[in-house]
Amino acid sequence: VLHQIVFVLRGRGVVQAESARAQFRPPALMLMPAGAVHGFEFEPGTTGYVVSISSQLQNELLGREPEIGALFAAPATLEIEQSELRGTDLVQSFHMLAREYERSSIGHDFAMQGWLSVLLANVLRLARQRPTADPFIGQRRQLVSRFNELVENRFRKNESLATYAREMKVSESQLRNACVAIAGQTPIRLVHERILLEAK
């Protein structure tokens, strides 16, 4: 199961994530957590990049930068102003990651991880610049991200919500409030959707 970052440089389209559907205009970043049911409709001539990250690799990255988990707490679309984009290394890091992907010379994996780290740092900075009225949204995103990781590793065990909450050292109501606020769904619904995805 893979997390995805879709970066559209040219061309408009529509993104469907879970039950939500929205139009986007370029440049736009779309962040899709592993297991999220999603799809895209792109107009002809659309160009950009798609980066897929395994849950295992994300866990390694989390060890170096815990904030990365918040990026994949729930599906998100960020429309970026051109002036804002010029103040980042985002385009270059996508380009360099794609170029390195085509190579097979010595240091390939090392370079791939380096460019991926630069790319994610830029995405994180852009996401952090978005104002929010909810002072707890960062904490809630981290909580939902941790919950999604647990679900990914343990959904086959048919554990109760209380077990998940106890493992995360939060109350069931805290977990429920965070999931509804960030993912728009209850925790039990997220678990059921992961089980359904496996069945499909």
Query: Model confidence over 71-94: pLDDT tens digits?
Result: 888 888 888 888 888 889 999 999
The C-alpha angle with vertex 22 and arms to 45 and 6, in degrees rounded to 5, equals 50
Nearest of 24, 125, 121, 36 to residue 74 by alpha carbon: 36
Please tell me the predicted confidence (pLDDT) of residue 132: 44
Please tell me the predicted confidence (pLDDT) of residue 139: 66
19 pLDDT band (50/70/90 cuts)? low
Q: Is the pLDDT of residue 45 over 70?
A: yes
Mean pLDDT of all residues in the chain?
A: 85
Please tell me the predicted confidence (pLDDT) of residue 134: 43
